[in-house]
Structure 1
Amino acid sequence: MGKIELEESGDFVVDILEHQKFVWLNKVGNILQIPYLDQQIRALFRVRNYDLLYFPYPLANCRLISLFKWIGLLSTPVVVLGHQGFLFYDDKKSLLGKIFKKSFQQFDHYAFFSKRLLEKTRVDLGFSMDYASKHFHHVHWGPDRKFYRSLNHSDLEPSPPFAISAGTVDRDYDMLIDAFSQIKQPLKIFCTPKGVSSTKILPVNVTVDNSWVPYPQLLKEYMASSFIIIPIREDIKNRGNTFGLTVLNDCIALGKPVLMTYHPYIDIDIEKENIGLWVRDNTVKGWTQALNKMFGLSDQFHKMGESARDLYFKKYNSGVFSNELAEIFKKAL
């Protein structure tokens, strides 16, 4: 989330606070509805050593920090990342909803992975356009600048063409499996044990691995595939999040075509950039048609891969992201 390149610039020293040290404090925090209480208390005890606090996951570990900002006990600037909506619950007018809204208003600067999410958050938190112009920022989150460039595609053994899909609970694998039952092309799914319904009968062209697969091994599967599929569940894609962006970054860095549920909160237009296709009809019928179309474009996969890598080198990588983050930090200071 920026540490390496920020320090390489020579302008910043970034310390990462240990995720968990005192387990009992987190147990108390869970009772008080303050997740990661341990980490936040340790941050407050050390805050005098720092000019700025940076939270990449503000929904999870900022409740105590925002409370201290709210009541005036913390003056250190706080910068947070926005990759999902802050107010995602139903009853925003309830007392608890109003408290959450007030707490999320306490941060000094917000960096968003999505322009539409930026605007949604401005409206949700009740900020004016003028305030947002000074404190809300759009950033281009991207893959690590060095890691993916070191991967060697030539080490892979030749394999028959296949599609691959990997991810967690925001994926609609049941629908994807139903779509693949209508075609003969092979699909590999890597997911958690709950990713596919236990009653789902798999067609012969679909395999599911719900064991823990090390990331380097998953990358090899990605590189050996024809293209990567990101099927986002219909009930969550409009909630205000960037689900699927991590895997999309993998596609860009690895130079792999992508077939993805159309996601209004993803800024990268995969069709405009010629790196894949959107699935706008997020149904079994829509996916079946999209899969047939995608497999029919196999002669363009190489060109799509080149376009993806071009995006990686020029626009979406950790170096670009860190430079943008550095400018936000300087404004906060």
Structure 2
Amino acid sequence: MERAYSLWEKGLSGSHHVWGKVELDQRGKVDMKVFPHEKYPFLNKIGKIFGIGHLDQQIRILFNLRNFDILYSPYSKSNTKLLLFLKALGLFRKPIVVTIHQPFWKGKNENKFFRSYSRFYILNYTASIFLSEPLLDKTIKLLKIPEKDYRNKFSLAQWGPDMTYYERYCVKRKSFEECDFFMSAGHTDRDFETLIEAFRGLDYKLKIFCTPKSVPKTLDIPPNVELNWEVTLSFDLIPYYQRSIAILIPLKYPMYKEGCQGMTSLQDVVSFGKPLIMTRNPCLNLDVEKAGIGYCVDMYDVEGWKEKLKILKENKDIWNKMSDNSELTFKETFNSDIFAAQLEKVLLSVYKDKKE
């Protein structure tokens, strides 16, 4: 997180990647400090042996209990496993507030022991902020959590992009005539293979930005598709976002893993006032078709992708309307200020309960 904050300070990344800290600093009611991520790497190697990620950070937190009132962890399970275990034993008494953007059950909810374990796990957090109402509802239903147990623990917050991007990029977006390619960037659960097949034979250009681990397995890449796994910083991607016709979010995952996949890329869609086409994901809080900012296609649907690509490439009026709606969505319902307001409300409520 300190790297994300450092990138924001240098103007290389949006504040939303620091998950509310920047906006809370500006609001002035909550003093949030970024706890260093790693100091003793060997502890993390030991943690991996026992299935505990980020053990180094968690141990150092135990030696800094006097320096904070609430522990806020935007990635919940990934770096709170030890602390939550100690909390269950009554040995860690600080409140823990987390955001939830992925499912807790991982397809094993029919196993009574696993379901009980998952329910016990999530209810040990002092407060859980879900980034999607469908994900919240799904969690309650699949883990069979009684209302009395989650009523004062679960809440919703719409995570959205840095509002400073609005004037900088969204309002000053390029015209339809200035945009000459489609682009897709990301790495989690991406289905670049289906996307490449959709562009095969089309007279449109596609630029894919991925990581070395998410490079598509397709061997015969058509000449109109360009792969890049070297450009990874948000700042370096800005010129490409500005000149893109639309942002494409192809996804693939088993249904038990269905969570908020594609959510980070949605930040880029509205930040630059762009239309989008994405694989349908009912767990996201933003219904892109209802909001009028883009189209959804079914998983692995090559023909569906081709159909929607042609519409956006050949219909300037539709493109302009979706771009306007994307900008409006950013301004009114999907931004960092809205997220920070809800986060602040939760943190202040937890702090009040702690003092009482």
TM-score normalised to structure 1 length: 0.91
Runs of 4+ in 1 over 4 A off after TM superposition: 94-101, 152-156
Return the alpha-carbon distance in structure 2 between the equivalents of residues 127 and 90 of structure 1: 15
Return the alpha-carbon distance in structure 2 between the equivalents of residues 268 and 120 of structure 1: 16
Aligned equivalent of 1:28: 46
Aligned equivalent of 1:207: 226
Range with greater deviation from structure 2 (121-130 or 166-175): 121-130
Matches within 5 A, 1:64-143: 64-88=82-106, 90=108, 93=111, 98-143=116-161
Say yes or no: does 1:172 pair with 2:188.
no
Return the alpha-carbon distance in structure 2 between the equivalents of residues 285 and 306 of structure 1: 27
1:224 to 232, 243, 248: 243
**SS of structure 2 residue aligned to 1:43:** helix
Return the alpha-carbon distance in structure 2 between the equivalents of residues 117 and 278 of structure 1: 19
Say yes or no: does 1:251 pair with 2:304.
no
The Cα shift of 1:217 comes to 2.0
Aligned equivalent of 2:329: 311
Return the alpha-carbon distance in structure 2 between the equivalents of residues 162 and 210 of structure 1: 18
Return the alpha-carbon distance in structure 1 between the equivalents of residues 191 and 78 of structure 2: 25
1:98-130 Cα distance to aligned partner (Å, 9 max, x none): 545433321011101110111122234442123
**SS of structure 2 residue aligned to 1:188:** strand
Query: Partner letter of residue 310 of structure 2?
Result: N
Aligned residues: 331
Query: Partner letter of residue 121 of structure 1?
Result: T
Return the alpha-carbon distance in structure 1 between the equivalents of residues 64 and 190 of structure 2: 39
Say yes or no: does 1:39 pair with 2:87.
no
**SS of structure 1 residue aligned to 2:180:** coil
Return the alpha-carbon distance in structure 2 between the equivalents of residues 244 and 72 of structure 1: 37
Matches within 5 A, 1:234-245: 235-236=253-254, 239-245=257-263
Relative distance call for 1:160 and 1:142 in structure 2 (3 A) is: closer
Return the alpha-carbon distance in structure 2 between the equivalents of residues 264 and 96 of structure 1: 25
Say yes or no: does 1:286 pair with 2:294.
no
CA contact (8 A) 1:140 1:320 kept: yes
Aligned equivalent of 1:149: 167
Query: Partner letter of residue 132 of structure 2?
Result: S
**SS of structure 2 residue aligned to 1:88:** coil
Aligned equivalent of 2:284: 266
Query: Partner letter of residue 60 of structure 1?
Result: S
1:185-222 Cα distance to aligned partner (Å, 9 max, x none): 11111112343445521222211112244321212101
The Cα shift of 1:74 comes to 2.0
**SS of structure 2 residue aligned to 1:271:** coil
Return the alpha-carbon distance in structure 2 between the equivalents of residues 198 and 127 of structure 1: 40
Return the alpha-carbon distance in structure 2 between the equivalents of residues 154 and 279 of structure 1: 26
Return the alpha-carbon distance in structure 2 between the equivalents of residues 87 and 103 of structure 1: 11
CA contact (8 A) 1:167 1:190 kept: yes
Which consecutive residues of structure 1, in runs of 5 or more, have no partner in the other structure? none
The Cα shift of 1:239 comes to 2.2
CA contact (8 A) 1:53 1:76 kept: yes
1:248-283 Cα distance to aligned partner (Å, 9 max, x none): 111111101111111111121111111111113642
1:57-77 Cα distance to aligned partner (Å, 9 max, x none): 112101111111101112221
1:62-94 Cα distance to aligned partner (Å, 9 max, x none): 111111110111222111100111221547638
Query: Partner letter of residue 110 of structure 1?
Result: S
CA contact (8 A) 1:169 1:194 kept: no
Query: Partner letter of residue 247 of structure 2?
Result: I
Return the alpha-carbon distance in structure 1 between the equivalents of residues 303 and 173 of structure 2: 37
Return the alpha-carbon distance in structure 2 between the equivalents of residues 305 and 238 of structure 1: 33
Which consecutive residues of structure 2, in runs of 5 or more, have no partner in the other structure? 1-18, 352-356
Return the alpha-carbon distance in structure 2 between the equivalents of residues 162 and 279 of structure 1: 19
Q: Share of identical aligned residues, percent?
A: 33
**SS of structure 1 residue aligned to 2:196:** helix
CA contact (8 A) 2:95 2:126 kept: yes
Return the alpha-carbon distance in structure 2 between the equivalents of residues 260 and 285 of structure 1: 13
